[in-house]
Amino acid sequence: MSKRGRFITLEGGEGVGKSTNVGFVAECLEAEGLEVVRTREPGGTARGEAIRALLLDPAPQEPLHVDAELLLMFAARAQHLAEKILPALARGAWVVCDRFTDATFAYQGGGRGIAKERIAVLEDFVQQGLSPDLTLLLDMPKEAARQRLESRLRDRHEQLDRFEQEQADFFQAVRDGYLARAEEAPERFAVIDAQYTLDKVQSQIRQVLLTKVAAWR
Protein backbone atom coordinates (compact mmCIF):
# COMPACT_ATOMS: atom_id res chain seq x y z
CA MET A 1 0.00 0.00 0.00
CA SER A 2 1.37 3.48 -0.83
CA LYS A 3 2.29 5.87 1.95
CA ARG A 4 -0.28 8.53 2.91
CA GLY A 5 0.41 11.86 1.24
CA ARG A 6 1.05 15.11 3.08
CA PHE A 7 -1.35 17.96 3.55
CA ILE A 8 0.11 21.46 3.12
CA THR A 9 -1.90 24.65 3.54
CA LEU A 10 -1.15 28.28 2.71
CA GLU A 11 -2.64 31.01 4.81
CA GLY A 12 -2.53 34.78 5.16
CA GLY A 13 -4.67 37.90 4.95
CA GLU A 14 -5.78 39.62 1.75
CA GLY A 15 -3.00 40.84 -0.57
CA VAL A 16 -0.08 38.91 0.93
CA GLY A 17 0.69 37.06 -2.32
CA LYS A 18 -0.86 33.74 -1.36
CA SER A 19 -2.29 32.78 -4.76
CA THR A 20 1.04 33.28 -6.55
CA ASN A 21 2.81 31.20 -3.95
CA VAL A 22 0.36 28.29 -3.97
CA GLY A 23 1.54 27.63 -7.54
CA PHE A 24 5.14 27.94 -6.44
CA VAL A 25 4.68 25.39 -3.63
CA ALA A 26 3.08 22.93 -6.05
CA GLU A 27 5.96 23.37 -8.54
CA CYS A 28 8.61 22.84 -5.84
CA LEU A 29 6.99 19.57 -4.79
CA GLU A 30 6.48 18.37 -8.36
CA ALA A 31 10.16 19.06 -9.01
CA GLU A 32 10.83 16.56 -6.19
CA GLY A 33 8.86 13.96 -8.15
CA LEU A 34 5.77 14.10 -5.94
CA GLU A 35 2.16 13.89 -7.17
CA VAL A 36 0.50 17.15 -6.17
CA VAL A 37 -3.18 18.06 -5.95
CA ARG A 38 -3.65 21.81 -5.84
CA THR A 39 -6.89 23.13 -4.45
CA ARG A 40 -8.52 25.93 -2.46
CA GLU A 41 -11.07 26.86 0.19
CA PRO A 42 -13.78 27.79 0.27
CA GLY A 43 -14.23 25.72 -2.88
CA GLY A 44 -12.22 22.91 -4.42
CA THR A 45 -15.28 20.92 -5.61
CA ALA A 46 -18.23 21.90 -7.79
CA ARG A 47 -20.56 22.17 -4.78
CA GLY A 48 -17.87 23.88 -2.72
CA GLU A 49 -17.36 26.48 -5.45
CA ALA A 50 -21.12 27.15 -5.45
CA ILE A 51 -20.91 27.73 -1.68
CA ARG A 52 -17.90 30.00 -2.26
CA ALA A 53 -19.97 32.15 -4.61
CA LEU A 54 -22.62 32.54 -1.89
CA LEU A 55 -19.97 33.46 0.68
CA LEU A 56 -18.15 36.05 -1.43
CA ASP A 57 -21.16 37.75 -3.01
CA PRO A 58 -21.39 41.21 -1.38
CA ALA A 59 -25.25 41.28 -1.74
CA PRO A 60 -25.51 44.18 0.76
CA GLN A 61 -29.33 44.03 0.67
CA GLU A 62 -29.21 40.57 2.27
CA PRO A 63 -26.49 40.40 4.97
CA LEU A 64 -25.19 36.92 5.79
CA HIS A 65 -25.45 35.98 9.46
CA VAL A 66 -22.04 35.23 11.01
CA ASP A 67 -23.09 31.73 12.10
CA ALA A 68 -24.42 31.00 8.60
CA GLU A 69 -21.05 32.15 7.23
CA LEU A 70 -19.23 29.83 9.64
CA LEU A 71 -21.43 26.84 8.81
CA LEU A 72 -21.11 27.41 5.06
CA MET A 73 -17.31 27.39 5.40
CA PHE A 74 -17.51 24.02 7.12
CA ALA A 75 -20.14 22.68 4.72
CA ALA A 76 -17.81 23.41 1.79
CA ARG A 77 -14.95 21.85 3.79
CA ALA A 78 -16.86 18.64 4.51
CA GLN A 79 -17.53 18.16 0.79
CA HIS A 80 -13.94 19.06 -0.07
CA LEU A 81 -12.51 16.55 2.41
CA ALA A 82 -14.78 13.72 1.29
CA GLU A 83 -14.56 14.30 -2.43
CA LYS A 84 -11.01 15.49 -2.94
CA ILE A 85 -8.60 15.86 -0.01
CA LEU A 86 -8.97 12.51 1.76
CA PRO A 87 -8.93 10.38 -1.42
CA ALA A 88 -5.83 12.23 -2.66
CA LEU A 89 -3.97 11.75 0.64
CA ALA A 90 -5.00 8.09 0.76
CA ARG A 91 -3.48 7.36 -2.64
CA GLY A 92 -0.21 9.06 -1.61
CA ALA A 93 -0.63 12.45 -3.33
CA TRP A 94 0.45 15.66 -1.61
CA VAL A 95 -2.37 18.16 -1.26
CA VAL A 96 -1.55 21.87 -1.49
CA CYS A 97 -4.54 23.87 -0.31
CA ASP A 98 -5.01 27.64 -0.55
CA ARG A 99 -6.54 28.23 2.93
CA PHE A 100 -8.13 25.76 5.35
CA THR A 101 -9.43 25.85 8.93
CA ASP A 102 -6.82 28.30 10.23
CA ALA A 103 -8.62 30.82 7.98
CA THR A 104 -11.83 30.08 9.85
CA PHE A 105 -10.18 30.77 13.19
CA ALA A 106 -8.63 33.97 11.78
CA TYR A 107 -11.64 35.35 9.83
CA GLN A 108 -14.74 34.00 11.59
CA GLY A 109 -12.96 33.85 14.97
CA GLY A 110 -10.67 36.90 14.93
CA GLY A 111 -12.50 38.99 12.32
CA ARG A 112 -16.13 38.22 13.16
CA GLY A 113 -15.62 37.53 16.86
CA ILE A 114 -17.03 33.98 17.05
CA ALA A 115 -15.64 32.16 20.12
CA LYS A 116 -12.90 29.77 19.11
CA GLU A 117 -14.42 27.01 21.25
CA ARG A 118 -17.48 27.06 18.97
CA ILE A 119 -15.28 26.84 15.89
CA ALA A 120 -13.30 23.99 17.46
CA VAL A 121 -16.51 21.95 17.86
CA LEU A 122 -17.11 22.15 14.10
CA GLU A 123 -13.45 21.47 13.37
CA ASP A 124 -13.67 18.19 15.32
CA PHE A 125 -17.02 17.29 13.78
CA VAL A 126 -15.93 17.85 10.17
CA GLN A 127 -12.25 16.91 10.28
CA GLN A 128 -12.31 14.06 12.79
CA GLY A 129 -8.73 14.60 13.81
CA LEU A 130 -7.30 15.55 10.41
CA SER A 131 -5.18 18.68 10.37
CA PRO A 132 -2.53 19.96 7.96
CA ASP A 133 1.00 18.55 8.21
CA LEU A 134 2.47 21.95 7.38
CA THR A 135 0.97 25.43 7.23
CA LEU A 136 2.83 28.27 5.53
CA LEU A 137 1.55 31.53 6.95
CA LEU A 138 2.40 34.52 4.74
CA ASP A 139 2.50 37.44 7.10
CA MET A 140 2.83 41.18 6.57
CA PRO A 141 1.47 44.34 8.19
CA LYS A 142 -2.08 45.02 7.11
CA GLU A 143 -1.25 48.41 5.51
CA ALA A 144 1.26 46.83 3.10
CA ALA A 145 -1.17 44.03 2.28
CA ARG A 146 -3.98 46.52 1.66
CA GLN A 147 -1.84 48.50 -0.79
CA ARG A 148 -1.03 45.33 -2.73
CA LEU A 149 -4.65 44.26 -2.81
CA GLU A 150 -5.83 47.64 -4.06
CA SER A 151 -3.25 47.86 -6.82
CA ARG A 152 -4.11 44.31 -7.93
CA LEU A 153 -7.79 45.16 -8.06
CA ARG A 154 -7.08 48.38 -9.97
CA ASP A 155 -5.01 46.49 -12.56
CA ARG A 156 -7.63 43.83 -13.07
CA HIS A 157 -10.67 46.08 -12.73
CA GLU A 158 -12.10 43.62 -10.23
CA GLN A 159 -14.73 44.40 -7.63
CA LEU A 160 -14.07 43.84 -3.93
CA ASP A 161 -15.71 40.69 -2.57
CA ARG A 162 -17.61 40.51 0.73
CA PHE A 163 -14.46 39.96 2.80
CA GLU A 164 -12.28 42.43 0.91
CA GLN A 165 -14.85 45.12 1.64
CA GLU A 166 -14.14 44.89 5.37
CA GLN A 167 -12.36 47.67 7.26
CA ALA A 168 -8.84 47.98 8.70
CA ASP A 169 -9.75 46.70 12.19
CA PHE A 170 -11.16 43.51 10.68
CA PHE A 171 -7.88 42.85 8.83
CA GLN A 172 -5.85 43.57 11.95
CA ALA A 173 -7.98 41.05 13.87
CA VAL A 174 -7.50 38.48 11.08
CA ARG A 175 -3.73 38.93 11.21
CA ASP A 176 -3.70 38.67 15.01
CA GLY A 177 -5.88 35.55 14.76
CA TYR A 178 -3.42 33.88 12.39
CA LEU A 179 -0.41 34.77 14.52
CA ALA A 180 -2.14 33.39 17.63
CA ARG A 181 -2.81 30.10 15.78
CA ALA A 182 0.84 29.94 14.72
CA GLU A 183 1.94 30.43 18.32
CA GLU A 184 -0.34 27.63 19.50
CA ALA A 185 1.08 25.11 17.00
CA PRO A 186 4.68 26.12 16.23
CA GLU A 187 5.60 22.61 15.05
CA ARG A 188 3.01 22.81 12.25
CA PHE A 189 3.39 26.45 11.20
CA ALA A 190 6.14 28.20 9.25
CA VAL A 191 5.61 31.96 9.39
CA ILE A 192 7.00 33.55 6.22
CA ASP A 193 7.78 37.27 6.15
CA ALA A 194 5.90 38.27 3.00
CA GLN A 195 7.08 41.88 2.91
CA TYR A 196 10.21 40.97 0.94
CA THR A 197 10.47 40.72 -2.85
CA LEU A 198 8.87 37.65 -4.44
CA ASP A 199 12.33 36.05 -4.91
CA LYS A 200 13.13 36.33 -1.24
CA VAL A 201 9.72 35.12 -0.13
CA GLN A 202 9.99 32.11 -2.43
CA SER A 203 13.46 31.22 -1.25
CA GLN A 204 12.13 31.14 2.35
CA ILE A 205 9.28 28.89 1.18
CA ARG A 206 11.58 26.59 -0.80
CA GLN A 207 13.85 26.12 2.20
CA VAL A 208 10.96 25.15 4.48
CA LEU A 209 9.57 22.72 1.89
CA LEU A 210 12.84 20.99 1.11
CA THR A 211 13.55 20.48 4.81
CA LYS A 212 10.09 18.91 5.29
CA VAL A 213 10.31 16.75 2.17
CA ALA A 214 13.67 15.36 3.32
CA ALA A 215 12.28 14.64 6.80
CA TRP A 216 9.07 12.99 5.56
CA ARG A 217 10.44 10.78 2.80
Residues that bind ligand TMP (CB under 6 A): 14, 18, 40-42, 73, 99, 103-104, 107-108, 163
Q: How many beta carbons lie within 10 A of that of residue 160, not counting itself?
A: 14
Is 92 known to sit in a ligand binding site? no
Q: Which is nearer to ligand TMP, 131 or 213 (CB)?
A: 131
Rounded to a whole number of angstroms, the minimum distance from the CB of residue 104 to ligand TMP is 4
Cis preceding linkage at 42, omega within 30: yes
Rounded to a whole number of angstroms, the minimum distance from the CB of residue 11 to ligand TMP is 9
Is 142 known to sit in a ligand binding site? no
Q: With residue 139 as reference, give the H or E element that holds it.
A: strand 134-139
Write the DSSP symbol of residue 166.
S
Residues 6+ apart with CB under 8 A from 165: 58
Is 43 known to sit in a ligand binding site? no
Please give the Cα distance from 160 to 163 (Å, whole number): 8
Q: With residue 37 as reference, give the H or E element that holds it.
A: strand 36-40
Q: Which is nearer to ligand TMP, 94 or 105 (CB)?
A: 105
Is 2 known to sit in a ligand binding site? no
Q: Which is nearer to ligand TMP, 28 or 73 (CB)?
A: 73
Rounded to a whole number of angstroms, the minimum distance from the CB of residue 216 to ligand TMP is 25
Is 13 known to sit in a ligand binding site? yes
Q: Residues forming the annotated binding site for ATP?
A: 12-19
